[in-house]
């Protein structure tokens, strides 16, 4: 699946502009700067397919990438960017809610959590939103290369404890580093099994 072509399809800001729901898709949600675009690049083996940058809030559209002929990878705009104007945040929340609740072909939402920080309140709000939508979510820890073993274990434990109160949570998490490649093959395998 990941050996084949990967193409940028389009970036959208409204539900009406989504591509036809004719393929299985998975999405990547998470705070600004958590590493969503970098992870999509690592998964697909393209260095700059999804633009990755140091500037928080860079990905402001829902970006669709076609994986071969049968799947879409969906890069969602980052949330929790403190300096974003209130109107922008509200528009994004409405779009996210509509997308998560209404996208028939969405099979799993990967929620990215920085291994350095664990689940913050703003993440927990998104997890609450996911509980109310029809889709299973799975936590993917990012930037694992940036922490020592003790912090890693403590924050994995914090995440696992927080997931207890979210009925839509998939019970296993995946720890990744886009930089070092850790967990990337595991995540590819999960995506490949979703139908």
- For residue 21, CA distances in Å to 17, 107, 129, 133, 165 come to 11, 12, 22, 17, 31
Which member of 26, 29, 32, 133 binds ligand GTP (CB under 6 A)? 32
Helix (DSSP H) and strand (DSSP E) numbers for the chain: 5, 7
Q: For residue 183, state whether it binds ligand GTP (rule: CB under 6 A).
A: no
Which member of 6, 29, 35, 163 binds ligand GTP (CB under 6 A)? 35
Distance CA 137, CA 170 (A): 6
67 binds, among ligand GTP, Mg ion, none (CB under 5 to 8 A by kind): none
Nearer to ligand GTP by Cβ, of 82 and 104: the residue is 82
Q: For residue 53, state whether it binds ligand GTP (rule: CB under 6 A).
A: yes
Distance CA 87, CA 101 (A): 21
Nearer to ligand GTP by Cβ, of 35 and 118: the residue is 35
Distance CA 116, CA 144 (A): 8
Q: For residue 138, state whether it binds ligand GTP (rule: CB under 6 A).
A: no
Q: For residue 142, state whether it binds Mg ion (rule: CB under 5 A).
A: no
**Contact positions with Mg ion (CB under 5 A) in 31-90:** 36-37, 59
80 binds, among Mg ion, ligand GTP, none (CB under 5 to 8 A by kind): none
Distance CA 181, CA 76 (A): 21
């Amino acid at each position: 699946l990941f050996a084949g072509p990967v193409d940028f399809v389009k970036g959208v800001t409204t539900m009406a502009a989504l591509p036809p729901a004719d393929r299985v898709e998975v999405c990547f949600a998470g705070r600004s700067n958590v590493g969503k675009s970098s992870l999509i690049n690592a998964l697909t083996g393209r260095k700059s397919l999804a633009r990755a940058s140091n500037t928080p809030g860079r990905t402001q559209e829902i970006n669709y990438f076609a994986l071969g002929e049968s799947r879409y990878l969906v890069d969602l705009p980052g949330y929790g960017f403190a300096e974003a104007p209130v109107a922008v945040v509200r528009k994004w929340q409405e779009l996210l809610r509509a997308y998560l609740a209404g996208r028939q072909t969405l099979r799993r939402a990967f929620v990215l959590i920085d291994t350095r920080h664990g689940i913050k309140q703003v993440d927990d709000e998104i997890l609450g939103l996911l509980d109310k939508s029809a889709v299973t979510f799975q936590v993917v820890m990012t930037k694992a290369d940036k922490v020592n073993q003790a912090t890693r274990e403590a924050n994995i434990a914090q995440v696992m404890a927080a997931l207890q109160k979210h009925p839509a949570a998939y019970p296993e998490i995946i720890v990744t580093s886009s930089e070092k490649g850790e967990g990337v093959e595991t995540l590819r395998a999960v995506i490949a099994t979703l139908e």
